[in-house]
Chains A and B, each alone.
Chain A
Amino acid sequence: MKKSSLKTIIAALLAAALLCALAAACGGDAASNTDPSATPTPTDSVGKKDEVIIGFPGIPSGFDPLVTAGHGSYVPLLFSTLVALDADVNVIPDLAESYEVSEDALTYTFKLRSDARFTDGEPVKVSDVLFSLQTIMETASEIDLSVIDSVAAGAEGDTVIITLKHPQSTFILTMSGIGIAPEHLYGAGFAQSPVGSGPYKLAQYDVDQQMILEANEGYYGKAPGIRRAVFINMSGEDQQLIAARSGQVDITLTSATIAAVNTIDGYNLLVEKTVDNMGIVMPTIPAGSGTSSLGNPMGNDVTCDVNLRKAIAYAIDRERLCDEALSGYAAPAYSENDGMPWWNPESVIEMDVDYAISLLEAAGWTDTDGDGIRDKDGIKASVPVYYFAGDSARQAVAMSAANQVKENIGVELLVEGMGEGDIMAIMVAQPMILAWGSANPITSYYLYHSSSVGRDDWYNPESFASAAVDGYLEAALGAKTIEDAIPFWQKAQWDGETGTSMRGECPYIFLVNKDHLYFRRDGLNTGDQMIHAHGASWTLVANLKDWIWE
């Protein structure tokens, strides 16, 4: 081997490495002839009156309305729904200009508007609605439409008739979350290049980085004030803060901890009240009560005592919890749906340590060994409380609650974070922190109905079963309208004697409704927001079409 050829090899190697690095850095796409100046950079667009840049955690991996549904999703942005919800949770027209419900509440007739078009120019036809609903019914996974008996086109040619197997008061709310897909385009790959008839269309997306929505020029509703919305994938609290501080985003999520110690010039802190509640769910049956569908042993000998559960519920100063754990950006929570039309205000309880102690004493929980923790028949009043590792808000809330409970009534809650999969294996036997909050009262049905017991999902891991509550829940769900159902939903929480609230059987110890917090650029008006459900991201942008710059 000659010296010169050796040098050549080395030089070639280094050069190749550098070239690789640069070529990869440019990426394949960058080689295209797009003029960079044609597309505005973020600094240009900031302050433009019809664009908004949103720091947003969790760009979806696909946009298929027949797989994902709900108000808290991309569906209302990209797709039409038969009906929609306004800021006060009233049902308002969308794709259907009107609808009628038969006397027996089994037949819904939706009259479609004639001017709705998909973004490819094709009109939205009755057949598209039928196709969408039927596809969901046939492949049902995330969306449960099992209540539908049949869907058919009406004689007039512009109506859709849905017949139910039995009345379901929440049906119209379910429909408000189901997007209509075009039959002629739906198929493999649709989720990556969706076409809808909603206020926006998907201009571009990359699951790791960003998605860009542009206003649908042919939208039948009021033209959105925001013509272009860039959603930047940003999951870290620190990233979100930095992005706002450097002016890269017009609005971004933030956390209570960050919001408490940071203010940003040119931005205000948007505080949205929510039903995004956090509570400790506690097994209501003793250990040895059999196993769940995946074979996990169910029950807990400490928390199966309703007196102990209620004592914990009454021993907590929820205002203090809000201040300590969430820097005041939260409100006390007393149920899974505080403040919603179907909420029972009687579920509110006052902190009462004496009452809590009397409950424990009466049930035989005393501190026999003097270690500060009560016990009974050799069992210590000490249980773990699990939360999803990495969720700092849940961690702080759990720790603050644990401090109070130990101090006030001598019951020990050992807070521990765990991965979701691992929690799943033990959640039917141990307390954990869960968060709920939904614009649809059917959530309460799933949460407390005895049919949810032992199914290894997040519904009813506490194995709560009560004939009285089952009766109310069934009556509520089977009522003809949302209004008719309200008294039953309320009675399920508290009927004067029993119920799911902390006054009653107390399977959940509700703690706080955490505020959703955002750094928002001054001048951006985010409209009238519906009370936020669980999850701070989609709930914020659900009304994107009403946002304006002032």
Chain B
Amino acid sequence: MGAVIIKTIAVYVARGITLLLAVSVLSFALASASPIDPETRYRLSHPGVSDENVERMREYWGIDEPPVKRYFAWLGGVLRGEWGTSTAYRQPVLDVVGVRFKTSLALMMTAWTFSGLLGFSVGCVMGVFRGRWQDRVIKRVCLIMCSIPTFWIGLVFLAVFAAALGWFPFGLAVPPGVPPEAVTLGQRIHHIILPAMTLGFLSFANLALHTREKLIDAYGSDWAIFARARGESDVAILFQHGIRNALIPAVTMQLGSFAELFGGSVFAESIFSYPGLGAAVSAAGTGATDIPLFLGIVIFTACFIFAGNLIANVLTLIIDPRTRRSTGI
């Protein structure tokens, strides 16, 4: 069994590397196609700059080189750990990404856990009450929630919980004016709740509906029918049998949702001025476009998503022996 798993992981990683390469080509090509080239940006931010200086900078950026050569120069840098310098932060891209990822990870993991627990529990409730009015009402609510854009939920939370009720701060990751070393865990949690709730809403309804389906399947199984015949209640069946069947698909689904999670964080972070990777993507794309940072974040998120999918697949492999026979993923 171990050998099969290792082989599968190896195949998956090899495939992942080709995917990452393709993503790097795609994003580099798109970024290079941007009409706002480095020279325009330079002239924008340095009015009155001399032509000699512009010429010197052109050489420095290598914009007269062919794109393929520039791509390989950039890729080589990425592999060596030199991801370029962010034009907005004037710091190495890796440093900026590192600091912001740490902040984002806190948010994403909180939201991920929150939506996972909530979505699964709600799914279980629907499963137990399947077909009855409780199920129908919750299901309808979940379907509606699937149609609500993340950014609008964020706005509503902002209006209700921050502006009207004043329960939570209006944004940022830490209270203003406090040095980082003095910020307490409580303060951080206080700041993370609204953006995390916003982000969590993205996937919770989906997960609940998914879990409901799995539970309904489970209740239809021979085992469940037998148990009911023995006089066991739906709730008892849920704990003995249902949860086990529904949990794995739920965890797998959550692990596979990293891409959506990150996409959602762009909105949640922008609305709550939460200084993470998502807000950085949006900022890097607006104004004087920060291409090095943008590319860095794309590559970084692709790795992150790949890792999530890898874990999901390996987990499925370990838990569900049926998939172990075929190596195709």
Q: Is A in direct contact with B (CB under 8 Å) within the complex?
A: yes
Asked if A141 contacts B102 (CB within 8 A), the reply is no
Q: Is the CB of B35 within 8 A of A18?
A: no
Contacts of B177 in A (CB 8 A): 41-42, 45, 53, 210, 230, 232, 248-249
1/0 per residue A1-35: CB within 8 Å of B? Answer: 10100100110011001101110111111101010
B residues near A83, Cβ cutoff 8 Å: none
With known contacts A207-B89, A421-B40, A25–B192 Cβ distance under 8 A: yes
B3 on the A face (CB < 8 A): no
**Does chain B have a CB within 8 A of A420?**
yes
Q: A424 is contacted by which of B44, B171, B183, B289 (Cβ under 8 Å)? A: B44
Complex CA–CA separation, A238 to B179 (angstroms): 23
Query: Are A25 and B319 touching (Cβ within 8 A)?
Result: no
Bound-state CA distance A187–B18 (Å) is 41
Quick check: is A135 within 8 A (CB to CB) of the other chain? no
Number of B residues whose C-beta is below 8 Å from A? 64
Q: Is A350 an interface residue (CB 8 A)?
A: no
Q: Are B185's CB and A30's CB within 8 A?
A: yes
Q: Which of A430-459 contact B (CB under 8 A)?
A: 446, 452, 455-459
Interchain CA distance A425-B36 in the complex, whole Å:
9
B190 CB to closest chain A CB (Å) equals: 11
Q: Are A191 and B90 in contact (CB under 8 A)?
A: yes
Q: Assess whether A378 is interfacial by the CB under 8 Å rule.
A: no
Contact at A234–B176, with CB atoms within 8 Å?
Answer: yes
Given A6-B319, A236-B273, A239-B170, residue A204 in contact with residue B102 (CB < 8 A): no
Task: Kindly provide the distance from the CB of B285 to the nearest chain A CB, expressed in whole angstroms.
Answer: 10
Q: B288 within 8 Å of A by Cβ? A: yes
A210, B53: Cβ atoms under 8 Å?
Answer: no
Q: Is the CB of B176 within 8 A of A210?
A: yes
Q: Which of A9, A61, A242, A248 contacts B88 (CB 8 A)?
A: A61
Docked Cα-Cα span, A340 to B119, in Å, equals 64
Is A263 an interface residue, CB under 8 A from the partner?
A: no
Assess the A6–B244 pair: CB atoms within 8 A.
yes
Cβ B47 vs Cβ A141 within 8 A: no
Give the segment of B66-74, B109-117, B209-217, B226-234 that binds chain A: B109-117
B-contacting residues, A379-416, CB 8 Å: none
- Determine if B181 is an interface residue (Cβ-Cβ < 8 Å): yes
Question: Do A61 and B182 have beta carbons less than 8 Å apart?
Answer: no
A175 within 8 A of B: no
Complex contacts, A24 vs chain B, CB 8 Å: 102-103, 105-106, 109
Tell whether A206 is near chain B: CB-to-CB under 8 Å.
yes
Does any Cβ of B come within 8 Å of A262's Cβ? no
The docked-state distance in angstroms from the alpha carbon of A450 to that of B41 is: 23
B179 and A204 form a contact (CB under 8 A): yes
Q: In chain A between 20 and 67, which residues have their CB closer than 8 angstroms to a CB of chain B?
A: 20-22, 24-30, 32, 34, 36, 38-39, 41-42, 45, 53, 55, 61-62
* B275 in contact (CB, < 8 A): yes
A249 touches B44 (CB 8 A): no
Residues of A close to B105: CB separation below 8 A: 20-21, 24
- Quick check: is B321 within 8 A (CB to CB) of the other chain? yes
Decide yes or no whether B180 CB sits under 8 A from chain A.
yes
Which residue of A has the minimal Cβ distance to B192?
A25
Smallest Cβ-Cβ distance to B196: which chain A residue? A21
Asked if B162 lies at the interface with its beta carbon under 8 angstroms from chain A, I say yes
Interfacial chain B residues near A32, Cβ < 8 Å: 181
Using A53-B177, A243-B176 as known contacts, list a sample of 19 further A-B pairs with CB atoms less than 8 Å apart, ordered by residue number in A: A10-B251, A17-B112, A21-B105, A24-B102, A24-B106, A30-B185, A42-B175, A45-B177, A61-B90, A141-B49, A209-B174, A209-B275, A210-B177, A236-B273, A249-B176, A419-B286, A446-B48, A457-B43, A457-B49
Instruction: List 30 contacting pairs A-B, 8 Å CB cutoff, sorted by A.
Output: A10-B251, A21-B110, A21-B113, A25-B110, A25-B188, A27-B180, A38-B182, A39-B178, A41-B177, A41-B182, A42-B176, A53-B177, A61-B91, A206-B180, A236-B171, A236-B273, A239-B171, A242-B163, A243-B170, A246-B166, A248-B175, A249-B177, A419-B286, A421-B44, A421-B289, A424-B40, A425-B35, A446-B47, A446-B48, A459-B47
Give residues in B with beta carbon < 8 Å to A: 35-36, 39-41, 43-44, 46-51, 53, 88-91, 100, 102-103, 105-106, 109-110, 112-113, 116, 162-163, 166, 170-185, 188-189, 192, 244, 247-248, 251, 273, 275, 286-289, 315, 318-319, 321
- Enumerate the 7 nearest inter-chain pairs by beta-carbon distance, A residue then B residue, closest first: A24-B106, A21-B109, A208-B275, A421-B36, A232-B176, A457-B47, A39-B182
